[in-house]
């Protein structure tokens, strides 16, 4: 486990907190996450998100998806305009046969 300094844990959901507890390389982009913003991202926020590789930001959505490293998540959690960060979970197909 590698400690990621500066994480605002209040913005991180339980699943992401658990995944971050097992991180080996804080710079490896291994976490698919939902980023919830407090308002529609403006130019500054959009530039920040695009710098992290998040796509489809210009449409003014407050929920953005991205694949991030633990260090990038830590940096995002420290931004006042970021409301919460949630780990992507794999869903199941709903067939019975």
| Shortest Å distance, C-beta 3 to other proteins | 9
What part of residues 68-87 is at the interface with other proteins (CB under 8 A)? 83-84, 86
The answer to whether the beta carbons of residues 35 and 65 sit under 8 Å apart is yes
Give which of 90, 89, 93 is closest to 14, Cα–Cα: 89
11-21 b/e (C-beta count within 10 Å ≥ 16 → b): bbbeebeebbe
Q: Residues 21-60 vs other proteins: string with x where CB under 8 A?
A: x----------xxx-x----------------x-xx----
Task: For residue 5, state whether it binds other proteins (rule: CB under 8 A).
Answer: no
Confirm if 90 and 19 have CB atoms less than 8 A apart. Answer: no
Token pair in block for residue 62: 């407050």
* Residue ranges in contact with other proteins by CB under 8 A: 7, 9-15, 17-18, 20-21, 32-34, 36, 53, 55-56, 61, 63, 65, 67, 83-84, 86, 88-97
């Amino acid at each position: 486990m590698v400690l990621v300094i500066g994480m605002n844990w209040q913005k991180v959901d339980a699943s992401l907190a658990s995944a971050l507890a097992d991180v080996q390389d804080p710079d490896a982009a291994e976490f698919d996450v939902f980023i919830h913003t407090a308002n529609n991202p403006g130019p500054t926020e959009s530039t920040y998100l695009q710098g992290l590789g998040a796509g489809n930001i210009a449409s003014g959505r407050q929920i953005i998806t991205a694949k991030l490293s633990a260090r990038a998540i830590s940096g995002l959690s420290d931004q006042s305009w970021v409301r919460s960060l949630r780990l992507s979970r794999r869903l199941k197909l709903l067939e019975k046969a």
